[in-house]
């Protein structure tokens, strides 16, 4: 997550801690280092910091394996993405792009709630699976409301031809992105063109897929993947390979498939 997103996650976790008791909040240290392997890998996240407890104890965690989603004629997601300048940076876990400060806000409407687009980042391979199968890359478009609610739209990437020209500007800078967002700028990115044409999604309630694993996240996983060439996909996996959390138990959650045609 970005520094900005982390602030939101912190707010959610703080609220949870208040419910559990003030002692939990007082004991929470600064964010502990975590990774995707070894002693700080996903199976240890919950014990790295009390602030990460939900990573182990949560009951509505993400990602998940998607199967047997119940079709329903839901309202499609409504995107109001505005093309503009992007800042790209490497946060040590993924490479992320976000609208440059001062940009006209991009929005996404889900069930009549308007969210502001915050950033996208990728996981390689995908965290979510379809019937147990991974895609080479999964991109998370993160959206937030002013009061801290989070909705993530997930887009799978599969191998295909030709090269995906809409993604090339981002791919060009993945390798040179530093921790400082101001150092790597894309003059104009058309965010909406990064999404699949067909935008039917499977929706469920889950969590952030990185510590602090905060729950209450509304997930919309696009069922139509976008395609990229082998050379393009290689740029993602060269930057990060294996930065995906394993799938988490469903614990009785229902998956709903929006079967309203999007076009
Ligand atoms: Zn993610």
Going from N- to C-terminal start, the domains of the chain cover: 59-248
CATH number of 59-248: 3.10.200.10
The pTM is what?
0.89
Would the pLDDT of 23 be above 50? no
Interval 143-165 mean pLDDT:
97
Would the pLDDT of 4 be above 80? no
Would the pLDDT of 220 be above 70? yes
The residues that bridge with 113 in the sheet, in sequence order, are 110
Q: Tell me how far the alpha carbon of residue 134 lies from the centroid of ligand 1, in angstroms.
A: 15
Catalytic residues, by residue number, are: 93
pLDDT of residue 92: 97
Largest CA distance in the chain: 56
Would the pLDDT of 44 be above 80? yes
Contact 45, 211 (CB under 8 A): yes
**Per-chain mean pLDDT for the chain:** 91
- How does residue 263 score in pLDDT terms, banded at 50, 70 and 90? low
- How does residue 29 score in pLDDT terms, banded at 50, 70 and 90? low
pLDDT of residue 31: 84
Interval 217-227 mean pLDDT:
98
| Residue 223 CB neighbours (<10 A) | 17
3-state SS class at 257:
strand
Query: Given phi > 0 = left and psi -120 to 50 = alpha, else beta, which region is 242?
Result: left
Contact 88, 95 (CB under 8 A): yes
- Least Cα distance to 48 among 56, 208, 158, 246 occurs for 56
Q: Tell me how far the alpha carbon of residue 123 lies from the centroid of ligand 1, in angstroms.
A: 6
Would the pLDDT of 183 be above 50? yes
Q: Tell me how far the alpha carbon of residue 198 lies from the centroid of ligand 1, in angstroms.
A: 21
Query: Which structure tokens are listed for 51?
Result: 């602030």
């Amino acid at each position: 997550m970005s520094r900005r997103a982390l602030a939101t996650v912190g707010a959610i976790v703080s609220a949870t801690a208040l419910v559990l008791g003030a002692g939990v909040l007082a004991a929470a240290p600064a964010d502990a280092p975590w990774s995707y392997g070894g002693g700080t890998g996903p199976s240890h996240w919950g014990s790295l910091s009390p602030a990460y407890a939900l990573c182990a104890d949560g009951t509505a965690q993400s990602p998940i394996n998607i199967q047997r989603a119940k079709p329903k004629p839901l309202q499609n997601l409504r995107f109001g993405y505005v093309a503009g300048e992007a800042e790209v940076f490497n946060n040590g876990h993924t490479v992320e792009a976000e609208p440059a400060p001062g940009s006209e806000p991009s929005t996404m409407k889900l069930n009549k709630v308007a969210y502001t687009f915050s950033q996208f980042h990728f996981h390689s391979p995908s965290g979510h699976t379809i019937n147990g199968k991974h895609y080479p890359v999964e991109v998370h478009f993160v959206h937030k409301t002013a009061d801290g609610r989070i909705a993530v739209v997930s887009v799978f990437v599969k191998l295909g031809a030709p090269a995906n020209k809409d993604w090339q500007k981002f791919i060009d800078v993945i390798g040179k992105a530093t921790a400082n967002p101001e150092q790597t700028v894309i003059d104009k990115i058309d965010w909406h063109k990064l999404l699949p044409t067909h935008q039917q999604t499977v929706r469920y309630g889950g969590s952030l897929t990185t510590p602090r694993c905060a729950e209450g996240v509304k997930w919309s996983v696009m069922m139509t993947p976008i395609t990229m060439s082998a050379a393009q996909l290689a740029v993602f996996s060269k930057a990060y390979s294996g930065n995906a959390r394993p799938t988490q138990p469903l614990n009785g959650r229902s998956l709903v498939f929006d079967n309203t045609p999007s076009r």
